[in-house]
C-alpha cells in the first residue's frame, strides 16, 4: 500500500472551475499540505484552476500514475474505472456516494465498479468516503477544505468506516495535540476492508497507535488473528450494536448489526481495547502517546484535597495500587507547607504549597523511585496570574515523563479560555479530569502486561475419527440430534457424562436402572431443539423400581400426547448426580468470528442470570481459567459460607475439550451442555444434558 499513501503522480477526476465543485477541494488540499508529486485534474470540460489545465478525459492522462481520486456521479464511476484500467492506474479512491448504501440500483452500480476493477487488477478505496490521508507526506484528499493546524503529522493512524466519524476524530485528536500518521475513510468497503488496512498499519513504521471506528466487521476471524499478533495498541469503537441503530447504519454504509457480546469478548481476547464513544477513544490515544505504563503502582499528586480523593477512588476502581512514599520524602514535602496542617501521603495533597518549581522537584523524585510506575498530576490554576507558570510546569512535567520513561498524565482544570490557551501553548496532550486519564491508563497497563506475558498457544488434541464416525452415522432429525446422540458426542470429546441408557419398555428400564444404580432420572429422548423442562419431559430422583414403573408409564404418555412423532425414540435413564453446582457450557458458530465457546451459571436460570464469559475457539489453558474467573458467581464455585470448593480444574478441562470440539467440527452450529454438574474439588464434573444442532 505504499503507492496508495505515498504516490508520486495523482489524478483527481471530477474537477471543474465552478466554485461549488467539490473535487477542486481535493486538489486544493494536496497543494496546501505540500504534496510533493505531480497532480493531474480531469473534468467534463476544460478549464484552468490553481494555474493548471483541467483535462477533459481520462484518456488524456499519461501512463505511470500511481493513484486516481474519483468524485463524480455514481453511474459514471464504472466507466471511469475502465478508463483508469487502460491507463494502468493501480489504486483508485472513490469518494462518490450513491452506491449500495443508497439503493438497489446503487448496489448494481457498485457491482459493476468492482467487476471493472477486478478486470484491470486495481484496488479500490471506498466508495462513499472522504479518501485517505498521509499528512507527513502531504497526501490529504477529502472533498472539503482541511486546515493545516487541524491535521499535523504524528504517530496515530485512524481507520474509519464513516467519513463523518473520521472527521470528528481528527478534529478531537488535533485539538488534543495528537498528530496523525495515516487516516483512512473506508466507506462501503467494496474492495479493501479493515483487515487489509490493519495489516498495513501494523507494519507501517510511522504508526505507533491504531484507532478504528467500525459499523460492521467484514471478516471478524481474520481481524482477530491479525490483531492478536499486534504489538501496537489497537483502540476500537464499534457501533451499530442495537436494533435501533441497525436501520440507519444499513443506509449509511451498508452495515448490519452483529452480536455485541461476542464482539466484546473476542476483542478483549485478542488485546483490542474497545471504547464506547469518541471522547473515550481520544483519551485512550492521549494516554497511549505517553511512555508505557508497565505496572499498576500509581502516585496521585494534586493541588486540591477534594480532587485527590476523587482520583483515589477512581484509581482503586480501575485496579491501581497507590504506591507508598518514603517517610523522608513525605517529611521533606511537609516541611515546605506554610500552615503544616496537612499530613502528606499518597494521594499527595500539595495543600497550601504554591511553589511551582517545587512541584517539578516533587514529581521528579517520585518518578525516580523504583516502586512507582506512573503519576497522575492534578493542577487547578487561577486564570490570568497562574497561566504562564502553569504552561512552564506542564512542559517540565512532560519532559520528566519522557526522561524517566514513565507516564505522567497531566490533568489541568481552569476556565475555558485559560485551558484553551494552555492547550495551544504545549505540544502534548492534557486531560481535564481524572475520569479521562485513569481508565485509559488502566487499559495501557493491561496492554503492556499482555505484550510482556508469553502466550501458551498449545491446545489439547482431540481424537477426530471417533466423533466423525458418530456424526456420519447418527440419526439426525433436520440437523438436531436426539438427546442420547448429543450425549454420545459430548462423551467422545472427552467431557465426562453421567452414565445413561435407553429403554423402550418398562422391563428394559428396570434392568438398566439396576445396572446404573438408584437414584436415577427419566428423560424424554427428544431432539436437541426442545427443552425437556418446558415439555414436562423430566422426572428426577427416582429411588426404586416402583417409582420407575410409574414414572416410565407417565413419561410415555407425555411423549405420545406432546410429541407423538418422537415416542418411538424411547426414554433415557440416567444416573442421578447429587450435590454439585450447575454450570452451562456452550458453543456456537458466529457468522463473523467462527466458533465461540461459553461458560455460565447453568440450570434452568441460565438465561435469566446471564452470568457468562465468552471466547473465540480455540482457547488456551490460560484463557479457559480467565473465563471461569470472569464469572460473577466465581465465589460460589470457590466455596463460600461453608460450601465446598468446586473442582475448577475439571471445568477448565471441559472448556478446553469443548473448544476443540467446536474447532474440529465446524458443522456443529450450536451446542449446550446444560447443566454441567461440578462436584467437590477432586471429584470432577459431569454433563447430564446436552443439545447439539448442525
Percent of the chain with pLDDT over 90: 69
Euclidean distance between CA atoms 239 and 164, whole angstroms = 14
Q: What is the pTM of this model?
A: 0.89
Who has greater pLDDT, 477 or 36? 36
Which DSSP string do the residues of 420-471 spell out, in sequence order? HHHHHH-SS--BSSHHHHHHHHHHHHHHHHHHHSPP--------HHHHHHHH
pLDDT of residue 90: 97
**Angle at 59 (CA atoms; ends 58, 60), nearest 5 degrees:** 90
CA 172 to chain centre: 21
For residue 207, count other CB atoms closer than 10 A to its CB.
19
Higher pLDDT, 352 or 514: 514
Contact indicator for 554, 604 with CB cutoff of 8 Å: no
Average pLDDT over residues 184-198: 96
DSSP 611-623: -EEEEESS--HHH
Give the pLDDT confidence score for residue 459 in this predicted structure.
56
Candidates 271, 276, 289, 254; CA nearest to 176 is 289
Highest CATH level, class, for 1-127: alpha beta
Residue 390, all three cell numbers: 502553569
The C-alpha atoms of residue 669 and residue 615 are separated, in whole angstroms, by 16
Residues 6+ apart with CB under 8 A from 313: none
SS3 content of the chain, % helix, strand, coil (to 5): 40, 20, 35
* Total number of residues shown for the chain: 694
DSSP H or E segment with residue 18: none
pLDDT category of residue 480 using cuts at 50, 70 and 90: low
Angle 361-362-366 (CA atoms, 0-180°, nearest 5)?
A: 115
Distance CA 490, CA 470 (A): 11
Residues 6+ apart with CB under 8 A from 452: 294
Instruction: Give the model's pLDDT for residue 535.
Output: 62
Q: Which of 236-245, 392-401, 536-545 has the highest mean pLDDT?
A: 392-401
CA distance 410 to 583: 46
pLDDT tens digits along 494-513: 999 999 999 999 999 999 99
Q: Which of 13-22, 307-316, 489-498, 521-530 has the lowest mean pLDDT?
A: 521-530
Domains 1-127 and 499-576 share a fold: no
pLDDT tens for 590-640 read 888 999 999 998 766 566 667 889 999 999 999 999 999 999 888 888 887
pLDDT, greater one: 517 or 352 = 517
Q: Counting beta carbons within 10 angstroms of the beta carbon of residue 27, is it exposed (0 to 12), middle (13 to 18) or buried (19 or more)?
A: buried
Rounded mean pLDDT of the chain?
89
Helix H or strand E segment including 672: strand 670-678
The residues near 496 (Cβ < 8 Å, ≥ 6 apart) are 650, 654, 684, 685, 686, 687
Distance of alpha carbon 558 from alpha carbon 563, whole angstroms = 8
SS3 state of residue 518: coil
Q: Name 2's Cβ contacts closer than 8 Å, sequence gap at least 6.
A: none
- CA dist 505 and 474 (Å) reads 22
What are the C-alpha distances in Å from 646 to residues 636, 640, 652, 683? Answer: 8, 10, 12, 9
Nearest 5°: phi and psi at 589? -100, 110
Candidates 108, 22, 28; CA nearest to 71 is 22
Q: What is the pLDDT of residue 463?
A: 59
- pLDDT level of residue 482 (50, 70, 90 thresholds): confident
Is the CATH number of domain 294-452 1.10.3470.10?
no
CATH-assigned architecture of domain 147-289: 3-Layer(aba) Sandwich (3.40)
Sketch the domain layout of the chain as residue ranges.
1-127, 147-289, 294-452, 499-576, 581-693
The architecture CATH gives domain 581-693 = 2-Layer Sandwich (3.30)
Give the homologous superfamily in CATH for domain 499-576: ATP-grasp fold, A domain (3.30.1490.20)
Tell me what the mean pLDDT of segment 364-372 comes to: 94
Is residue 275 scored above 90 in pLDDT? yes
- Residue corresponding to grid cell 496542617: 341
Poorest-confidence range of 2-6, 294-298, 591-595?
A: 591-595
Amino acid at each position: 500500500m505504499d503507492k496508495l499513501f505515498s504516490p508520486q503522480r495523482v489524478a483527481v477526476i471530477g474537477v471543474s472551475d465552478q466554485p461549488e465543485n467539490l473535487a477542486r477541494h481535493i486538489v486544493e488540499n494536496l497543494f496546501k499540505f505540500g504534496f510533493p508529486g505531480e497532480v493531474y485534474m480531469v473534468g467534463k470540460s476544460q478549464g484552468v484552476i490553481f494555474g493548471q489545465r483541467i483535462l477533459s478525459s481520462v484518456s488524456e492522462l499519461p501512463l505511470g500514475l500511481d493513484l486516481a481520486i474519483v468524485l463524480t456521479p455514481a453511474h459514471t464511476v464504472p466507466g471511469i474505472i475502465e478508463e483508469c484500467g487502460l491507463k494502468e492506474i493501480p489504486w483508485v479512491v472513490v469518494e462518490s456516494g450513491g452506491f449500495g448504501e443508497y439503493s438497489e440500483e446503487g448496489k448494481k452500480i457498485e457491482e459493476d465498479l468492482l467487476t471493472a476493477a477486478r478486470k484491470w487488477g486495481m484496488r479500490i478505496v471506498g466508495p462513499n468516503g472522504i479518501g485517505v490521508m498521509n499528512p507527513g507526506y502531504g497526501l490529504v484528499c477529502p472533498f472539503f477544505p482541511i486546515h493545516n493546524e487541524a491535521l499535523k503529522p504524528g504517530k496515530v493512524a485512524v481507520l474509519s468506516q464513516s467519513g463523518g466519524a473520521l472527521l470528528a476524530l481528527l478534529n478531537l485528536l488535533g485539538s488534543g495535540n495528537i498528530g496523525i500518521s495515516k487516516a483512512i475513510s473506508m466507506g462501503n468497503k467494496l474492495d479493501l476492508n479493515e483487515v487489509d488496512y490493519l495489516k498495513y498499519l501494523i507494519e507501517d513504521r510511522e504508526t505507533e497507535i491504531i484507532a478504528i471506528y467500525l459499523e460492521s466487521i467484514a471478516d471478524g476471524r481474520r481481524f482477530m488473528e491479525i490483531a492478536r499478533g499486534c504489538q501496537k495498541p489497537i483502540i476500537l469503537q464499534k457501533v451499530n450494536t442495537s436494533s435501533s441503530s441497525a436501520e440507519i447504519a444499513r443506509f449509511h454504509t451498508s452495515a448490519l448489526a452483529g452480536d455485541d457480546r461476542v464482539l466484546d469478548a473476542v476483542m478483549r481476547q485478542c488485546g483490542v481495547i474497545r471504547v464506547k464513544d469518541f471522547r473515550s477513544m481520544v483519551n485512550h490515544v492521549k494516554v497511549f502517546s505517553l511512555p508505557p505504563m508497565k505496572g499498576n503502582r500509581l502516585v496521585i499528586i494534586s493541588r486540591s484535597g477534594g480532587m485527590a480523593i476523587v482520583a483515589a477512588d477512581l484509581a482503586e476502581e480501575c485496579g491501581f495500587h497507590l504506591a507508598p512514599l518514603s517517610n523522608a520524602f513525605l517529611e521533606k514535602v511537609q516541611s515546605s507547607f506554610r500552615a503544616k496542617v496537612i499530613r502528606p501521603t499518597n494521594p499527595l495533597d500539595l495543600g497550601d504549597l504554591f511553589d511551582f518549581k517545587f512541584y517539578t522537584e516533587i514529581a521528579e523524585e517520585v518518578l525516580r523511585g523504583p516502586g512507582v510506575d506512573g503519576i497522575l498530576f492534578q493542577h487547578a490554576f487561577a486564570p490570568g496570574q497562574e497561566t504562564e507558570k502553569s504552561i512552564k510546569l506542564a512542559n517540565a512535567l512532560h519532559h520528566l515523563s519522557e526522561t524517566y520513561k514513565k507516564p505522567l498524565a497531566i490533568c489541568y482544570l481552569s476556565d475555558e479560555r485559560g485551558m484553551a490557551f494552555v492547550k495551544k501553548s504545549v505540544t502534548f496532550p492534557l486531560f481535564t479530569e481524572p475520569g479521562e486519564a485513569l481508565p485509559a491508563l488502566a487499559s495501557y497497563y493491561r496492554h503492556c502486561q499482555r505484550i510482556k506475558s508469553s502466550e501458551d498457544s498449545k491446545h489439547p488434541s482431540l481424537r477426530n475419527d471417533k466423533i466423525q464416525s458418530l456424526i456420519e452415522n447418527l440419526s439426525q432429525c433436520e440437523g438436531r440430534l436426539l438427546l442420547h446422540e448429543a450425549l454420545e458426542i459430548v462423551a467422545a470429546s472427552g467431557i465426562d457424562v453421567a452414565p445413561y441408557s435407553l429403554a423402550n419398555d418398562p422391563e428394559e428400564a428396570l434392568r438398566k436402572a439396576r445396572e446404573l444404580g438408584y437414584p436415577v432420572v427419566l428423560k424424554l429422548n427428544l431432539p436437541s431443539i426442545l427443552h425437556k423442562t418446558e415439555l414436562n419431559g423430566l422426572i428426577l430422583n427416582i429411588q426404586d423400581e416402583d417409582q420407575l414403573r410409574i414414572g416410565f408409564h407417565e413419561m410415555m404418555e407425555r411423549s405420545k400426547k406432546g410429541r407423538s412423532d418422537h415416542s418411538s425414540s424411547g426414554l433415557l435413564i440416567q444416573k442421578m448426580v447429587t450435590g454439585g453446582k450447575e454450570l452451562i457450557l456452550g458453543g456456537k458458530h458466529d457468522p463473523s468470528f467462527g466458533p465461540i465457546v461459553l461458560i455460565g451459571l447453568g440450570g434452568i436460570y441460565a438465561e435469566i442470570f446471564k452470568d457468562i464469559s465468552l471466547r473465540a475457539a480455540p482457547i488456551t489453558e490460560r484463557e479457559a481459567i480467565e473465563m471461569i474467573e470472569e464469572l460473577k458467581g466465581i465465589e460460589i464455585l470457590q466455596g463460600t459460607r461453608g460450601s465446598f470448593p468446586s473442582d475448577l480444574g475439571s471445568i477448565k478441562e471441559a472448556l478446553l475439550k469443548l473448544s476443540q470440539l467446536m474447532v474440529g467440527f465446524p458443522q456443529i452450529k450450536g451446542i449446550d451442555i446444560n447443566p454441567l454438574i461440578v462436584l467437590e474439588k477432586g471429584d470432577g464434573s459431569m454433563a447430564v444434558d446436552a443439545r447439539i444442532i448442525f
